[in-house]
Structure 1
Amino acid sequence: MPTSQPEASGPSEDRATPDDLLHARTGTEVSPEDIVLASGKDITPRNLEWAKRKLAAEGPSALDKLLP
């Protein structure tokens, strides 16, 4: 039995996704733990201190810079 394929309404356009659609921050406060986890590191006192410094320097956008 053939599977149905959605019909293309026209030529597909390869466009980059706008940056504001790629990031998923919900508007809540960004914590040092969020920064550590987004960087792929374990939550340790040393990594939390690094994350606190990063947040102080870059603000909540520090999280956006770490997310794909």
Structure 2
Amino acid sequence: MPMSQPDASASSEDRVTPDALLHTRTGTDVSPEDLVLAAGKDITPRSLEWARRKLETEGEAAMEKLLP
């Protein structure tokens, strides 16, 4: 069974995500739950406490450090 391969004739611009779509800022506050999920962790009391401390020290930039 042949494996599908990307279309080599497509230009690189067709495959590149525009920079404006790569930013995580949504204009809303970042919650501890958002930060935990962005870090790929399960939401637990321990991970929520980690996220609260990180948001206290780094502010919303904490999210940008995880998902630039």
Deviation (angstroms), 1:35: 0.5
Moved over 3 A (4+): none
Per the normalisation by structure 2, the TM-score is 0.67
* Aligned-residue CA RMSD (Å): 2.4
User: Gaps spanning 5+ residues in structure 2: where?
Assistant: 1-8
Per the normalisation by structure 1, the TM-score is 0.67
Kindly, what percent of the aligned residue pairs are identical?
65
Structure richer in helix, relative to its length: 2
Count matched residues: 54
Paired residue type of 2:28: T
User: Gaps spanning 5+ residues in structure 1: where?
Assistant: none
Deviations along 1:5-47, one digit per CA (max 9) or x if unpaired, are 67x8xxx8xxxx76xx331221101000000000000000000
Highest CA radius of gyration, 1 or 2? 1
